[in-house]
C-alpha cells in the first residue's frame, strides 16, 4: 500500500514564515509516502498586482521555504507536492513542486490560469509529464486545470497512477467533477484544497475546502469538510489504476479513436 494524503489549511495572506511553520508542525509526525499541499500555500492567493507577487514569489533554488521542506522530507522520509509562487528570471509562475529529501525533483507550471491570476502570473510553459515516486507514477495538475479534461487525459496517457492536485478552489464544481476525471482515466486523484478566505483591499475570495482522494472507479476514498484544518493519509493500491478494463472488451485507453479527435489539436 502506498500512503498518500493531503493537508488542508487556511494560509494567511503574505505570511510566508507563519504558513511554512504551520505546515512543518502539522506534518512533523506524518507517516506517509506522498503528501499534497494546496496551491500557493505559503503566499496566499489573491494578490493585489504583479508587484506584490514579485515581492512574495521566490526562486526555488534560493528559497529558504524550499530548503525547509527538503529538510522535512529528508527527516520524515516522504515526498511533498506543493503549490509555489515560482520566480524564474523575469517570469512568475503559479507552480507545483515535487520535493523529496534530496531536493526539488520536478516543477510543473500551471497551464490554465484562473480569473485574476491572468493579471499577475505568467502562463505555464512546462509540458505535462509524470514522475515516479516509490513505484507509483504521479502526474501534477494545479487547481483550475481540472476543467480541461485534456490535462488528466494526457497525464493518464503518460502513465499517471495518481493525479496530485494542489488547489485553491473557488467554484463549486471541481470536487464532483474529479470523480469523473478519475473514472474516465482510471486514476487516483488527491486534490488538496485550502479553506477560509483571502480578504484583501481588492475584494474577498472564499475557498471551498473539501479536499479529497478519489479512486480509479470514481469513488470517493475520503472528502473532508469545507472548513477546518486536516491532515489525512490513506493507503492505496496503485495497481488498481493500471487495470483500465471497464468490461472484458473495453480498455479505456486502447479503445480511444484518436484519428477522430484531430479537431482537438490546434483549435
Q: How far is the CB of 94 from ligand ACM (least distance, A)?
A: 8
**Cβ(213)–Cβ(247) below 8 Å:** no
Give yes or no for residue 42 binding ligand ACM (CB under 6 A). no
Of 14, 17, 21, which Cα lies nearest the Cα of 200?
14
Give yes or no for residue 168 binding ligand ACM (CB under 6 A). yes
Is the Cβ of residue 44 or residue 216 nearer to ligand ACM in the bound state?
44
Q: How far is the CB of 28 from ligand ACM (least distance, A)?
A: 27
Residues 20-39 as x/- pattern, contact with ligand ACM by CB under 6 A: -------------------x
Is the Cβ of residue 168 or residue 191 nearer to ligand ACM in the bound state?
168
Give yes or no for residue 140 binding ligand ACM (CB under 6 A). no
Query: Which residue in the set 9, 84, 114, 232 belongs to the binding site for ligand ACM (CB under 6 A)?
Result: 114
Is the Cβ of residue 95 or residue 168 nearer to ligand ACM in the bound state?
168
Strands 203-206 and 212-214, bridge-based pairing: unpaired
Is the Cβ of residue 78 or residue 144 nearer to ligand ACM in the bound state?
144
Q: How far is the CB of 170 from ligand ACM (least distance, A)?
A: 5
Q: Which one of 1-9, 30-38, 69-77, 166-174 is the stretch in contact with ligand ACM (CB under 6 A)?
A: 166-174
Query: Which residue in the set 143, 162, 231, 241 belongs to the binding site for ligand ACM (CB under 6 A)?
Result: 143
Give yes or no for residue 147 binding ligand ACM (CB under 6 A). no
Looking only at residues 201 through 260 of this chain, which bind ligand ACM when binding is defined by CB under 6 A?
Answer: none
Is the Cβ of residue 110 or residue 137 nearer to ligand ACM in the bound state?
110
**Judged by CB under 6 A, how many residues of this single chain contact ligand ACM?**
7
Phi first, then psi, for residue 253 (nearest 5°) are -85, -35
SS (H, E, C) the chain: CEEEEEEECCCCCCCHHHHHHHHHHHHCCCCCCEEECCCCCCCCCCCCCHHHHHHHCECHHHCHHHHHHHHHHHHHCCEEEEEEEEEECCEEEEEEEEEECCEEEEEEECCCCCCCHHHHCECCCCCCCEEEECCEEEEECCHHHHHCHHHHHHHHHCCCCEEEEECCCCCCCHHHHHHHHHHHHCCEEEEECCCCEEEECCEEEECCCCCEEECCCCCEEEECCCCCCEEEEEEECCHHHHCCEEECCEECCCCCCHHHCHHHCCC
Q: How far is the CB of 40 from ligand ACM (least distance, A)?
A: 8
Binding site for ligand ACM (CB under 6 A): 39, 114, 143-144, 168-170
Amino acid at each position: 500500500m502506498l500512503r498518500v494524503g493531503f493537508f488542508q489549511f487556511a494560509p494567511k495572506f503574505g505570511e510566508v514564515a507563519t504558513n511554512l511553520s504551520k505546515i512543518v508542525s502539522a506534518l512533523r509526525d506524518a507517516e506517509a509516502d506522498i503528501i499534497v499541499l494546496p496551491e500557493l500555500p505559503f503566499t496566499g492567493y489573491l494578490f493585489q498586482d504583479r508587484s506584490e507577487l514579485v515581492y512574495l514569489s521566490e526562486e526555488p533554488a534560493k528559497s529558504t521555504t524550499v530548503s525547509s521542506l527538503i529538510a522535512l522530507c529528508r527527516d520524515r522520509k516522504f515526498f511533498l507536492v506543493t503549490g509555489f509562487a515560482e520566480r524564474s528570471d523575469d517570469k512568475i509562475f503559479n507552480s507545483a513542486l515535487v520535493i523529496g529529501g534530496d531536493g526539488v525533483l520536478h516543477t510543473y507550471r500551471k497551464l490554465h490560469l484562473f480569473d485574476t491570476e491572468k493579471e499577475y502570473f505568467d502562463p505555464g510553459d512546462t509540458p505535462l509529464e509524470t514522475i515516479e515516486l516509490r513505484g507509483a507514477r504521479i502526474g501534477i495538475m494545479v487547481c483550475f486545470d481540472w476543467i480541461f479534461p485534456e490535462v488528466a487525459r494526457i497525464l493518464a496517457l503518460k502513465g499517471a497512477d495518481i493525479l496530485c492536485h494542489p488547489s485553491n478552489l473557488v467554484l463549486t464544481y471541481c470536487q464532483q467533477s474529479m470523480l469523473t476525471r478519475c473514472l474516465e482515466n482510471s486514476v487516483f486523484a488527491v486534490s488538496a484544497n485550502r479553506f477560509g478566505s483571502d480578504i484583501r483591499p481588492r475584494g474577498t475570495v472564499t475557498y471551498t475546502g473539501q479536499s479529497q482522494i478519489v479512486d480509479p472507479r470514481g469513488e470517493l476514498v475520503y472528502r473532508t469538510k469545507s472548513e477546518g484544518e486536516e491532515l489525512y493519509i490513506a493507503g492505496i493500491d496503485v495497481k488498481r489504476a493500471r487495470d483500465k478494463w471497464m468490461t472484458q472488451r473495453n480498455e479505456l485507453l486502447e479503445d480511444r479513436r484518436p484519428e477522430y479527435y484531430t479537431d482537438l489539436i490546434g483549435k
